[in-house]
Structure 1
Amino acid sequence: MDARSILFGLHELPGFGWRSIQKLLHRVPDLTNLLQRGWNQQELSGLQPDKLKALKDNFHMDFVASRLNKYAEAGIRFVTVLDEAYPALLKQTAKPPWVLYYRGNDRLLQASAIAVVGTRTPTTYGKKAAERLSRELSDAGLTVVSGLARGIDSSAHLGALQGKGSTIAVLGTGPDIVYPPENKSLYREIAEKGLILSEFPLGTSPHPGLFPLRNRIIAGISLGTVVVEAALKSGSLITADQALEESREVFAVPGPITSPKSLGALSLIKQGAKLVTGAEDILEEYGVLPAANSAAATGYRNTSMRTEEERLILGLMREEPISFDDLLERSHFQFGHLHSVLLSLLMKKEIEQLPGSMYVIL
């Protein structure tokens, strides 16, 4: 049994959380040894007694095989942090999920994405703003990430589905649980045209403590986060804080100063978040101009519009695909800056992104 299957099995083990897996990986770097050699008391000495008992009593090949079959029957796939297909941006965060369960288009795991989040009880203005902005971002080729919640999240997904791009719904439940229930049809449409994503195993019901964990994935998988409408104590501000902690951009849509639902976004703007009135405000932050997008869409490549950084990166690329890590090493760019340059080149149709964080000149 390979390491990714064993990591999946550990993730499925009840009561065996993120930190327990981290401790185990620190002591047993090669997971294939975990089931082959039996339980080495010295290697497992750092685990709490209940975790150790769970491993010894329940973790075996039959358990892993049964869980794998369960997901196959449900039509849900998974990617682990050991896989090339794991989202590159998310892997760079402080606490990347060991396993992500998904349903839908797995190419979106590597997509250039922007998170759009906000209150569950928006105004009409907020819903329209989120839908329009998400549609514009989608038309520009970006993937819109949100949390399938009521309100702004739902409007963001709906807007993105109207555009040329797509959307990712990150759940605070298991990948098979739709919450809120009224979003069943939206869930199905995203599963068909976009991507449903969760770090929680099958059957995990909604619980308040799970949504902040969900929010870190929304922020971590995205180049930046846009807050549309949010009160001062909104969970959306947690997502914005997590984006800042990972050195990602934060944007905010302004609203009336008399509306409590706008106070969170206005507070972010006061603290330095970029004020957004349209997708162009976000695109220009990553060096992508709307005019360049239009030229690229018609097949016309205006090489004079390339920046010095773009020319440098293109000079490092050849006809054969090159990995993000190789570009990072050769360019000596900062992680976030390289992503911005690659995003600009993607939007201009100069390069193509392949699975496994590989890039090739078009």
Structure 2
Amino acid sequence: MEERWILFGLHEMEGIGRKSISKLMSGSQSLTELFDYEEADWIAAGLRKDQAARLVKDFNTGWIEYRREQVYNRGIEVITYLDSNYPILMKETVQPPWIMYARGDSQLLHSPAIAMVGTRMPTVYGRKVGEKLASQLCQAGLTIVSGLARGIDRVCHETVVREGGKTIAVFGTGMDYIYPPENTSLAEQIAETGLLLSEYPLGTRARQGLFPERNRIIAGITLGTLVVEADIRSGSLITADAALEAGRDVFAVPGPITSPKSRGAHNLIRQGAKLVTCAADLLEEYRLDLPNTEQLPYNRGRSAEMQGHAEQGLFTKVQLSVDEQRIIVLLEQEEQSFDQLIEQLGWDFGHLHSVLLSLIIKKQISQLPGTKYARV
């Protein structure tokens, strides 16, 4: 059995969490050897006695195939940390999930995306601003990511669906439990043209702690997080913190100084988040090759550099660093694997990974199966 399915099986096993899997991943030479483990072996690997007993009893290829069939029967794709199509932005974070369950267009995980989050009880102002910015950003070609919660999350998802754009809804439950239930119809609409995403196995119901945990995925698969409207204790600030922890950008929309619902966003701006009043404020932070920017009203009054974008890109010219240019030269000749690039360039793993990620974001190269890279 492939190691990706063994990892999936561990993740599906009740009582085996992320930390336990981390111990097993770091301690075994090959995941296939886990099928031969006795209770003492599981305990020696760092698991508790009750976990070891459960694994000895149930963990086998037949049980994994059964769980795999349950997922596939619901039209859900399994993406494991070992897969070549695991989103590179997510892998860069502190706690990437071992498994993600996807329903819809999983290629959106590799598209330029922005998280839009905010209060569950927005004001009229917050709703209006959320609709305006979600519309502008999706029209520009960005994928909008949010958490399918009440309030600003729902406003942003609904706007993107209505505009015919792309959106990703990240669950804090298993795929078979939509929370809140009133968003079930919206989730089905998103699945048709966008993507539903969760790290939790089927059967996982809503409970305290899961939603703050899923916020790291909202932040992790995006270039930055935009807080539309939030009070000082809003859960959306957890997403902003996760974005900062992952080294991503944080943006915030200013609101009326008399509104408690704006205090969280204002506090972020005081701490250095970029103030956003229109999509151009956010887009100018990225040199992305995005479609559909010429006709947008917020282009008026932008800098000469942004006004003069090329026919196929948002900017006149994509700026490349010296290191990025070196990789482009190599990939112009032929496809290269990560190991081949390491050998030719002599860089360390982290630096090469960072430069490749930058080039993917700028749409100068693409990642192929088998950790190979090619010039776009």
Q: One fold, TM greater than 0.5?
A: yes
1:318 is aligned, of 308, 312, 332, to 332
Give the 3 Å change call, closer, same or farther, for CA 165–352 of structure 1 in structure 2: farther
CA contact (8 A) 1:140 1:293 kept: no
> In structure 2, what is the equivalent of residue 39 of structure 1?
38
> In structure 2, what is the equivalent of residue 22 of structure 1?
22
Give the 3 Å change call, closer, same or farther, for CA 301–66 of structure 1 in structure 2: closer
Q: How many residues end up aligned between the 2 structures?
A: 356
* Corresponding position: 1:305 with 2:317: yes
Q: Structure 2-normalised TM-score? A: 0.85
How much does 1:251 deviate? 0.4
Query: RMSD of the alignment, in Å?
Result: 2.9
* Corresponding position: 1:280 with 2:292: no
> In structure 2, what is the equivalent of residue 166 of structure 1?
166
Higher mean C-alpha displacement, 352-361 vs 17-26? 352-361
Tell me how far apart the structure 1 counterparts of residues 168 and 346 of structure 2 sit (CA, whole Å).
Answer: 30
What letter corresponds to residue 276 of structure 1 in structure 2? V
> In structure 2, what is the equivalent of residue 262 of structure 1?
262
Give the 3 Å change call, closer, same or farther, for CA 357–33 of structure 1 in structure 2: closer
Q: Structure 1-normalised TM-score? A: 0.88
How much does 1:165 deviate? 4.2
Q: Deviations over 1:244-278 (max 9, x none)?
A: 11111100011011111110000000000000111
1:196 partner SS: strand
CA contact (8 A) 1:140 1:164 kept: no
> In structure 2, what is the equivalent of residue 228 of structure 1?
228
Mapping 1:37-186, distance limit 5 Å: 37-39=36-38, 41-42=40-41, 44-45=43-44, 46-163=46-163, 165-186=165-186
CA contact (8 A) 1:86 1:356 kept: no
CA contact (8 A) 1:166 1:193 kept: yes
Q: Deviations over 1:275-296 (max 9, x none)?
A: 0111211111123596778877
Tell me how far apart the structure 1 counterparts of residues 243 and 169 of structure 2 sit (CA, whole Å).
Answer: 17
How much does 1:132 deviate? 1.8
Q: Deviations over 1:135-160 (max 9, x none)?
A: 22222222111000011111111233
What letter corresponds to residue 100 of structure 1 in structure 2? M
Q: Which runs of 5+ in 2 are unaligned?
A: 295-304
Higher mean C-alpha displacement, 282-291 vs 330-339? 330-339
Q: Deviations over 1:37-76 (max 9, x none)?
A: 3437346412111111111122122211110111122221
Identity of aligned residues (%): 50
Give the 3 Å change call, closer, same or farther, for CA 164–192 of structure 1 in structure 2: closer
